[in-house]
Chain A
C-alpha cells in the first residue's frame, strides 16, 4: 500500500513537472518568440502628425489685407465717425462648404495726407500722380493705399469715380457722404485684392462642380514651374516658307510679363517649328466668302492630332502651356474660326482650358497666282503676341474682369501686369497651395493608414512634418496680412508634401500579399503551435476537474 502511495506521489510529481514544462514552453513562445517574430518582420513606420493632418482637412482661411486710407484735404466726409487718424476693420465671412470657409478682414488705417503726398496729388495728370505716389510708398506685397480725393477734384476725368493705378494705390472720389465712400472703398479693395469668386475658383478642387462657374477650371493649377512652348505649325512647307522672329517677340513681350511673375514660379520659354502638322478636322468651305470655316463645336477635335506632334517635355515635370500658331495649307486658306453663333472670331484664335491656345494665321495670297513657291511669309509678331499674351493672362487667371464704367483701370504698360494684379494672383495662389497641400497630406495619411505594409522612412516623415509646419505658418501669415511670407511658406509646403507623397520608398512593400505570408509562416507555426495549444488545453481541463471534485481524493 505504501508502495502504491509512493508511486502515486511520484506520479503526481511527474505530472506537475510535465505541466510546468508545457507552461514554460508556452511562456517562452509568448514572451520571447512572438516579440522576436514581430520585431524581425515589422515594417518601419515613422510617426506622422496624423492629428495635425486631420485638422488640415478643415480649412478656415483668414485673409487680412492691410489698407491705408488717406484723405486728401477737403475730402473728409462730414459724417466721419471719429477724428483722423483712426483704425477700422471690415470683416466678412463666407462659408463655402462644410470643410471650407473664408473670412476676409480689411484692416484700414485712416489718416490724412502728408505734405509730400499732397504735392504728389497735385500733379497734372492722374498717371503722374500715381507714379509720384508710388515713390512715396513703401508698400509690401498685398497691402493697399487708397487716396480719397475731393469729389470736385479735376485729377480724374469726368464720370470716373475710382482710378486704380499701376502699383498698389488707387484714387477714390469722396462721393456724397460716408456710405457712398464706404461702398466705393469696398469695391476698390475687392478689385485690388480678392473677391469671393476668385478665391472659390482657387479652391475649385474642394468644391462640387455645380457650385463653380464655367471659368473656374480654366486657369492653370498652381505649380512650382511652368513651361511655355510656342509652336509654329506649317502643314504646307511646299507653298509657305514661314519665318517668325520668336526670339525677339519673346524677349519683347513675354519676358517682361514672366519677369514680373518670376516670384510666383519658374518659367522656361521655348519655341519650335513643326512641319506637316495638320489639324484633326477638315474645315468647311463657305461659298459666300470663299473662305474655309472651323466651327466652334469642331474645335475640341483640333487639338488631339496636333498634340502628338508637340512632343512632351523630356527635361522637366512642370505643366506645359502650348501656344500654337497655325498657318493653314494653301488649299485651305483663308481659314476662319466661327463661334457658336456663327459669327467669325475677330482674333481668329481660341484657347483650351489648362492646355494653351491656338491662333490661325492666314497668309495673304500672292499677287500672281503663279508666283514661285514656296512663298516667303514673315509673321507679324505683334499681332500674334497680342493674342498669345491675352491667352497667357487668361490661363494664369489674371485676366481683367469687366468693371463698372465709373472704375478706370490703368493699363499695366510694358510689364503686362500691374502690381495689384500680381497681389491678386498671389492671394489666390496661396489659398490654392494651402488647399493642395491639405489634399495631398490627407490622402497620404489615408493611404498609409489603409495599407499597413508601406514603410515610412524618416525622411518621408520629416517632409510631412515640414509640410505641416509650413502650411500652418502660411495660414498664420495670411491671417496677419503678410502675403509675401505666406506665399513662400505655401510654396515650401507644396514642395515638401509632393516630395513626401511621391517618394519612391513608399512603393516598396505595397504589394506583398497576405496569403503568401501565410504560406511561408504555416510550416513553422503550425507544428509549433499545435502541441503548445493542446497541452495548454489539457492543463486547463485537468485544473477544472480538480476544482470540481477537490474532496474526492481524500
Chain B
C-alpha cells in the first residue's frame, strides 16, 4: 500500500506555505535544494518471495539531493542539510559525512524539472546502520496536511506498522510544472510509505486480510483538503483463473494498468465518492480467497540481484554480486553503483564480470578510489545483461586496520557496506500503452513508463556486514603500562648501577660454619680457629 500525499503540494511562494510543510520549505530555500529524496527503511525487500518492489529503498537511511547551480559550496550545504534533516526526522542523518558521501555520475538523474545535469551538484549517501522506528514515523506523518487526523493516514498506527516484515517511508521533493503550459514552477512533495504485512503466518495459515486486521483501524473519511484519495487493491487473476478472490465491499471502479511489465487489475476505492459511505459509516476493505491455496506463485521479476561477501580470515575477502536477467529474449543494460567504505581496500585489478562463463566487458566504468578517512570507493559500471542470464561481478578487498577510536561501540557486530544500486530500463514482456496522466496522476507518477516498451527499475541489493580485525580495547592502557614498566625496569637498573657505591670488604669473622666450629671449640676449651 502506498498512500501518497493527499494532493501534490501546492505552489510554495518564497515564504508562505499552505499545504507544503514550512520546515521542509525553509530547508529547500535556505540550502538551495533542487531535488531531495530521503528514504528510511527497516527490513529488506525479498525480491524472490515478494516480487518486484513497487518502490524499493535500501535498508537504513538513504538520502540523495540535487542542489541548485547557485550553491557555491555544495559540500557545506550538504552537511548542513543532512544535519537539519536529522533534526526534522529524528534520524541519525548527521552521521553523513565525507566518508560515506559519493557523487554518482550516471545512476541518479533529477526526476523533476531540470536544466542541465551537472553531477557535481549531486550528493548521495546511505546509512545502513540506521534503525527506523516510531520516532521517525511521527514527524513524517506531521508533514501531511491533515496529519493522522483524517484521510488514509488514519490507518498509520505505529505499533501496527512496525509489527511488519518491511517498512519504508520516504519523502521526495522535486520541482514540477505548475500547469500544462509550464510557465511557473511548483514544488512537489511526495510522501510514500511501503509496508509488507505477512498475513500467512499471523492469520492461521489464511491469506485473507482486511484493513482492520492489518491496521486495527478503518477509514471513515477522506482528508477534506484532498483532491484525490484512493485505495487500489491488486486483484489480478493469475493463469486465467478467474474469481479466485473476492473483495468486499464492492469497489467504486476497476482499474486496469500495466505496471512494471505486468498486466494488473486493481479494485479502486475512491474515498471522495459519497456512495462509498452510504451503507456503512466506515470502510473496511476485505480480501478473501475462495479456495485455500498452498502457495502463491509470484512470477520472478525480470531483473533482480543478490550480493554476498566471501573469503576467510581477517585479511582479505571478496564481494560478489549476482545480477539476474530472466527476460526470455531481450538483453538490456544496467547501471551498477557500488559504494564501499575506505576501510575495505578494493583491488580493482581483481574486478571480474562473468556472464554465461564468458567475460563481460562493461561499456562504461567510473571508478573513484577511496582516500583513507576522507572518502569511500565509488564504482559505477554500465553492464549489458544478455537475455536469460546470470552475471557475476566479483572484486577482492583487503581489510584495513582502524585506529582504536574509529571502531563503533559494538565492533564485533561488524561493519556495514551499503547496498549496491542497480538502475535499468527493463524491457516489458507485454506491450504497454500510455496511461492517461489526467485520470490518475498519483498512480502514474508512482509507476512511470518512459515509453511503451520499457519501464524504469531501481533495485538495491542487501547491505553487507563485514568483520574487521578487532583489537583488544583495553590495549592502550596495557601498552602504557607495559611501556612504563619496561622503562621503569631499565631506568631502575641503570640508576642502581650508577648510584650504588662499591667498597672492598675484608673477611672478618668468616662464615657460619666457622663461627659454629669456634663456639663448639670454646665449649671444649680448645683455642678457636
Contact = CB atoms under 8 A, between A and B. Distances in A.
B480 interface: yes
B16 A271 contact: yes
A201 B147 CA distance: 42
- The size class of the interface chain B forms with chain A is 35 or more
B16 A523 contact: no
B249 interface: no
Interface in B388-421: none
Contact of A21 (B21, B498, B502): B498
B80 to A, nearest CB: 9
Contacts of B19: 273
A7 B27 contact: no
A520 B480 contact: yes
A273 B18 contact: yes
A527 B491 contact: yes
A481 B19 CA distance: 50
Contacts of B27: 314-315
A21 B13 CA distance: 84
Nearest to B481: A523
B492 A272 contact: no
Contacts of A269: 15
B492 A311 contact: no
Contact of A528 (B13, B149, B491, B503): B491
Interface string B276-308: 000000000000000000000000000000000
A11 B503 contact: yes
A383 B150 CA distance: 31
Contacts of B31: 315
Nearest to B14: A270
B415 to A, nearest CB: 27
B224 A237 contact: yes
B22 A528 contact: no
Contacts of B18: 272-273
B124 interface: no
Contacts of B503: 7, 10-11, 14-15
A14 B87 contact: no
Contacts of B484: 523-524, 527
Nearest to B26: A315
A524 B499 contact: no
A314 B147 contact: no
Contacts of A520: 477, 480
B30 A315 contact: yes
B498 A25 contact: yes
Contact of B17 (A268, A271, A313): A271
Contacts of A21: 498-499
B23 interface: yes
Interface string B141-152: 010011101100
A182 interface: no
B485 interface: yes
A268 B31 CA distance: 16
A314 B488 contact: no
B150 A276 contact: yes
A427 B225 CA distance: 49
Given A25-B499, A527-B491, A528-B491, A314 B87 contact: yes
A531 B481 CA distance: 19
A18 B26 contact: no
B499 A22 contact: yes
B405 to A, nearest CB: 14
Contacts of A495: none
Interface in B12-53: 13, 15-19, 21-23, 26-27, 29-31
Contacts of A315: 26-27, 29-31, 84
B492 A531 contact: yes
A106 to B, nearest CB: 43
Contact of B16 (A25, A246, A311, A313): A246
B88 A276 contact: no
Nearest to B225: A237
A443 interface: no
B504 interface: yes
B146 A275 contact: yes
Contacts of A527: 484-485, 488-489, 491-492
Contacts of A229: 22
A312 interface: yes
Nearest to A270: B15
Given A271-B16, A528-B491, A18 B500 contact: yes
A462 interface: no
Interface in A299-345: 309, 311-316
A314 B139 CA distance: 13
A229 B16 CA distance: 9
B180 interface: no
A376 interface: no
B508 to A, nearest CB: 12
A17 interface: yes
10 closest A-B pairs by beta carbon, nearest first, are A527-B488, A523-B484, A270-B15, A315-B30, A524-B484, A276-B149, A18-B501, A11-B503, A272-B22, A272-B17
21 contacts: A7-B503, A7-B504, A11-B503, A18-B501, A25-B499, A270-B22, A270-B26, A272-B16, A272-B18, A276-B147, A309-B142, A311-B21, A311-B22, A314-B23, A519-B477, A523-B484, A523-B485, A527-B485, A527-B489, A527-B491, A528-B488
Given A25-B495, A270-B15, 17 more contacts: A18-B501, A21-B499, A237-B224, A237-B225, A247-B13, A270-B26, A275-B149, A313-B26, A314-B88, A315-B30, A520-B480, A523-B480, A523-B484, A523-B485, A528-B487, A531-B496, A531-B499
